[in-house]
């Protein structure tokens, strides 16, 4: 058993409780938490380790949506609008994928770990990231992605998807959980989506999908044409939408699904996602770079919302503190302190709920995924602690995953 104490402990529970001069006792799981004086009396034979002046203990951060296979992108892709970006992805994909080798992905995961991300949802399109995800100390929910809209390639694409899924399943562990990703309604043939979702329901796989990320997608699925007409006609003459948005959502009944972006989702579509108990992953930096609009976070049930970075194909960082700062400034009309508290909660507690994991909050019997942070000065206002953390944190001092110190 270990005991850590800090000037402040953020439980990151529903009430967002904060313990001043607190301590936490744990091995692989959290055994006890409370004021330092009480914990020291209950466990007199265990040495208490102080995290230092101006220290904060809190749950590890959870990033439910990343694309590590595109980690080599820096200036190869065109930002400013979704379709030009998508065309640049297709044009430069081979170069980026070739340069996103194991060493770079290892380094990217290490950077995420140093910033306090102890759990991630990795969207894997090709499986080249598997070895890196297996050896990282972080918990990885590994979403094997399926996409392809041409009917004549359905069988080949599905066989490839099943092969990757089986390979990841062979490596399942307490820190590596295979899952399924359906790319999007505009890019995945309904036969592929339906077959993959049947597997998900039968075997209880978690599911992720991109949904309503751009106005181009909204126009295309609504039958109004838009920018996707030229894009698809260059690939398949006389192309038509594969489904409506609502038909696509109906495919996900009886699944546990994360819907990423949703900036152009209608209120009816958001209700459907709520009815099937889905989660929505907000990626503010990516949305801004691709001109996808701003998610109305107040219109979404507070228990449904998570925060993700997307990949370096549409972001400059996989650091969730940076993402929180961007969200803090993007949603400028919201109360500053309430928004800061919400951003930390959706980056911890809600992320764990979405990924069906036993972490994300410092409560008894939860996994001991804990990070320690030192603020530059002691906060004068406890109510401002969440805001202080977002404004002043880039990397963390200590990281524990399942009770084991990793940084």
| Residue 372 belongs to domain with CATH number | 2.30.40.10
Q: Report how far residue 240's alpha carbon sits from residue 191's, in angstroms, rounded to the nearest whole number.
A: 15
Stretches in the chain below the pLDDT threshold 70: none
Give yes or no: residues 118 and 190 share one domain: yes
Give yes or no: residues 234 and 276 share one domain: yes
**Concatenated DSSP letters for 329-393?**
HHTTTS-HHHHHHHHHHHTTHHHHHHTT-S-SS--TTSB--EEEEE-SS--S-GGGHHHHHHHH-
CATH number, domain with residue 83: 3.20.20.140
Give yes or no: residues 96 and 67 share one domain: yes
- The model carries a pTM of 0.98
Give yes or no: residues 324 and 206 share one domain: yes
For residue 367, what are the domain limits?
A: 2-60+361-405
Q: Is 213 a catalytic residue?
A: yes
Among the three residues 354, 379, 395, which one is the final residue of a domain in this structure? 354
Q: Report how far residue 360's alpha carbon sits from residue 139's, in angstroms, rounded to the nearest whole number.
A: 12
pLDDT given at position 237: 82
**Concatenated DSSP letters for 291-327?**
T-----GGGS-TTTEEE----TTS-S---HHHHHHHH
Give yes or no: residues 306 and 340 share one domain: yes
Give yes or no: residues 151 and 11 share one domain: no
CA-closest candidate to residue 49, choices 26, 28, 30, 31: 26
Give yes or no: residues 164 and 50 share one domain: no
pLDDT given at position 293: 97
Q: How many domains does the chain have?
A: 2
Strand, helix or coil for residue 144: strand
pLDDT given at position 169: 98
Q: Report how far residue 15's alpha carbon sits from residue 23's, in angstroms, rounded to the nearest whole number.
A: 19
Q: Report how far residue 286's alpha carbon sits from residue 296's, in angstroms, rounded to the nearest whole number.
A: 15
Among the three residues 338, 354, 370, which one is the final residue of a domain in this structure? 354
Among the three residues 336, 354, 372, which one is the final residue of a domain in this structure? 354
Q: How wide is the angle at C-alpha 183 spanned by C-alphas 177 and 185, nearest 5°?
A: 140
pLDDT given at position 98: 97
Give yes or no: residues 39 and 131 share one domain: no
Give yes or no: residues 129 and 227 share one domain: yes
Give yes or no: residues 34 and 164 share one domain: no
Q: Which of 36, 69, 145, 213 is catalytic?
A: 213
pLDDT given at position 236: 82
How deeply is 351 buried, as exposed, middle or buried, from its count of CB atoms within 10 A (0-12, 13-18, 19+)?
A: buried
Give yes or no: residues 75 and 175 share one domain: yes
Both tokens of residue 143? 């979403």
Give yes or no: residues 394 and 377 share one domain: yes
């Amino acid at each position: 058993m270990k005991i850590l104490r800090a000037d402040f402990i953020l439980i990151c529970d529903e009430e967002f409780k904060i313990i001043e001069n607190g301590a936490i006792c744990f091995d692989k799981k959290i055994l006890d938490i409370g004021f330092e004086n009480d914990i020291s009396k209950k466990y007199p034979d265990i040495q208490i380790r102080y995290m230092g002046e101006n220290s904060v203990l809190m749950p590890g951060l959870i990033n439910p949506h990343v694309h590590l296979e595109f980690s080599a992108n820096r200036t190869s892709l065109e930002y400013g609008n979704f379709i030009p970006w998508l065309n640049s992805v297709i044009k430069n994909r081979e170069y980026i994928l070739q340069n996103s080798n194991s060493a770079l992905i290892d380094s990217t995961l290490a950077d995420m770990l140093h910033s306090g991300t102890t759990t991630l949802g990795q969207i894997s399109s090709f499986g080249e990231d598997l070895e890196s995800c297996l050896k990282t100390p972080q918990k990885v929910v590994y979403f094997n992605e399926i996409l392809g809209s041409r009917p004549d390639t359905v069988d080949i694409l599905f066989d490839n998807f099943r092969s990757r899924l089986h390979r990841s399943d062979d490596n399942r562990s307490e820190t590596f959980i295979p899952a399924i990703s359906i790319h999007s309604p505009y890019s995945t043939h309904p036969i592929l989506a339906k077959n993959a979702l049947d597997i998900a329901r039968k075997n209880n796989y978690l599911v992720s999908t991109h949904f309503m990320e751009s106005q181009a997608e909204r126009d295309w699925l609504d039958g109004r044409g838009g920018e996707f007409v030229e894009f698809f006609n260059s690939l398949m003459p006389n192309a038509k939408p594969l489904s409506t948005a609502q038909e696509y959502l109906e495919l996900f009944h009886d699944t546990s699904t994360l819907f990423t972006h949703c900036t152009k989702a209608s209120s009816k579509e958001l209700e459907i996602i709520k009815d099937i108990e889905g989660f929505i992953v907000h990626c503010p930096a990516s949305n801004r770079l691709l001109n996808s609009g701003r998610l109305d976070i107040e219109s979404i049930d507070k228990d449904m919302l998570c925060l993700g970075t997307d990949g370096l194909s549409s972001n400059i960082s996989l650091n969730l503190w940076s993402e929180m700062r961007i969200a803090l400034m993007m949603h400028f009309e919201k109360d500053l302190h309430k928004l800061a508290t919400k951003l930390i909660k959706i980056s911890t507690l809600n992320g764990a709920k979405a990924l069906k994991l036993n972490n994300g909050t410092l409560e008894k019997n939860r996994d001991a995924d804990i990070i320690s942070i030192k603020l530059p000065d002691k906060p004068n206002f406890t109510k401002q602690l969440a805001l202080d953390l977002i404004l002043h944190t880039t990397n963390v001092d200590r990281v524990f995953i399942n009770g084991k110190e990793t940084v």
